[in-house]
A and B are shown apart, each in its own frame.
Chain A
Amino acid sequence: MSKPNMPIILETQNLTHVFPDGTVAIKDINLQIHAGEFVIVAGANGSGKTVLLRHLNGLIRPTKGKVLLEGEPISKNIIAARKQIGLIFQDSDSQIVGQTVAEDVAFGPENLRLPPEEVNRRVKTYLEVVGLSKLAQQSPHVLSGGEKRKLAVAGVLAMQPKIIMFDEPFTGLDYPGVVQVLRQLVSLHQSGHTIILVTHELEKVLAHADRLIIIYRGKIVEDGTPEEIIGRSEQYGVRMPLGENERVDAMTWLK
């Protein structure tokens, strides 16, 4: 299922981050992600997943090692890298900057200095893509949890990134909310985006992934197809979904 014949789009070399208080959040992470891949990163609380994602678009600088986007270090042109690599935060509340839904989606494109007509066009397009067009003039503050997450997705899509990273997108969502986000994920993947998804709720999404990576105490301990790895996940604090004999294909909340 993985896509070794596609070019490598994102790569990390010996990525290590030590916080000032001495916490080693990630250590010697070597990763190669191919264009169009759907990668799930799983791991227990505090294993370093969020820290890893934030290195990939340059929000945190590594203590050691580097991140390469299409072969070029992202530190060379960090703005260009962030334009290519969208990140949807764990807490969607804290990434809302607009007073209305439409204005929030416009924030990214405006930062890229796109002409106003293009900004408006993108706002319209991507609100439609996530199904929030009707709420365009609402205050984001009154949206439901699922709608907020969709808004965050629209805000990232409006910058037209190639790679989209999701940090725990299912937290706090009810069943319909999870299904909506899942649909979004799958359709983004189908339209050619590279998806990196951090979660430990494997039973909701694993069937759609090409690849599963398990992080344990800041290190990659497993990396391969979901079928290979799923049986060994529990020793790293990631609950194995469903029964022992369950097939990976069944691990999705999409019918």
Chain B
Amino acid sequence: MAQIVLFHYFPRNSILHKMDGRVKLICMILFSVAISLVQSIPSFIILTASLILITLLAARLPLITLLKDMKYFSFLILIILLVNSFVIPGRPIPGFPLPGVTVEGVMTGLIASWRLVLIIMVCAVMTGTTSLITLKNVVEWYLRPIPLVPETRIATMINLTFVFIPVIFDTVSEMLSAQKARCVEGRRNPLKRIMFIAFPLLVQTFRRTEELILAMEARCYSDDRTRAVFATTAKDWLILAFTVLFLAFILFYSF
């Protein structure tokens, strides 16, 4: 688990790191929309090239390391390729041993996979340049005008989830070691072994949660908290304007 860096935050000092998170999120959504709409191969190549440049120069992220982690999506990509190759009707590939595979199908499959990889890259750029705290604050900010949505509580929930994940993993690994020390491997029934972990984990987690609630209360937790301040600079607007123009241009020539 700990080896995946694809959606990690990389503390750097780049243009994208310094951007207002709210504007960055919009840019990212625009990019994803453009990637899903784009049709022609040249537009695809331009989009890919610009994304690589953004990752390396504007975000200063380790592109190669990120691309290596794409292997976790390889199964998904394979399925997309296979399904498309067989399902889309068209000309059969001359000389290809398997019947049913079409030229159009393979092409559509390749493009769909390409889209997926690009969108994953966009997400990786977003999470790589935005700390979880900022991400949480951005989500909270966008939820604020929506009535009946308790945005502060949702933000606190997101936050606590991320705080709890490593704690739970640690608890599990500690319990596993403790049970190994008492020769749990001697038990054949895997279901029993899962139960030996699951029940104590549940009890532990509830106990911790209860303590955490008290600790939050002791520090005066309320929904009415200091709000995060965002600062949008001229640069942010410039980047947004440029993104819109650039993507509009690509889409215009794509059709």
Nearest Cβ in chain A — how far from B159, in angstroms?
Answer: 7
B215 touches A89 (CB 8 A): yes
Size band of the interface chain B makes with A:
20 to 34
Nearest Cβ in chain B — how far from A86, in angstroms?
Answer: 8
- Count the A residues whose beta carbon is within 8 Å of the partner chain — how many? 36
B219 touches A111 (CB 8 A): yes
B229 touches A95 (CB 8 A): no
Contact of A119 among B131, B162, B217, B226 (CB under 8 A): B226
Return the chain B residue nearest A142 by Cβ.
B166
B212 touches A116 (CB 8 A): no
Known: A97-B216, A98-B163. 7 other contacts (CB 8 A): A59-B218, A82-B219, A82-B220, A97-B163, A99-B163, A108-B219, A109-B226
Q: Which 9 A-B pairs have the closest CB atoms?
A: A95-B215, A94-B211, A110-B226, A108-B219, A111-B220, A110-B225, A141-B166, A87-B218, A116-B229
0 or 1 for each of B214-245: is its CB under 8 Å from A? (1 = yes): 11111111101111110000000000000000
Asked whether A229 is an interface residue with its Cβ less than 8 Å from the other chain, the reply is no
Asked whether B57 is an interface residue with its Cβ less than 8 Å from the other chain, the reply is no
Asked whether B208 is an interface residue with its Cβ less than 8 Å from the other chain, the reply is yes
Asked whether B11 is an interface residue with its Cβ less than 8 Å from the other chain, the reply is yes
A139 touches B166 (CB 8 A): yes
B219 touches A159 (CB 8 A): yes
Tell me which residues from 1 to 19 in chain B have a Cβ below 8 Å from any Cβ of chain A.
Answer: 11
B220 touches A114 (CB 8 A): no
Q: Contacts A113-B226, A116-B226, A139-B166; is A94 near B218 (CB within 8 Å)?
A: no
Nearest Cβ in chain A — how far from B221, in angstroms?
Answer: 5
- Which residues of chain A have C-beta atoms less than 8 A from B131's C-beta? 100
A103 touches B133 (CB 8 A): yes
Tell me which residues from 147 to 204 in chain A have a Cβ below 8 Å from any Cβ of chain B.
Answer: 155-156, 159
A97 touches B224 (CB 8 A): no
Tell me which residues from 165 to 223 in chain B have a Cβ below 8 Å from any Cβ of chain A.
Answer: 166-167, 170, 208, 211-212, 214-222
Q: Contacts A97-B212, A99-B162, A100-B133; is A57 near B225 (CB within 8 Å)?
A: no
Asked whether B160 is an interface residue with its Cβ less than 8 Å from the other chain, the reply is yes
B219 touches A107 (CB 8 A): yes
0 or 1 for each of B113-136: is its CB under 8 Å from A? (1 = yes): 000000000000000000111000
Q: Contacts A99-B132, A156-B219; is A54 near B214 (CB within 8 Å)?
A: yes
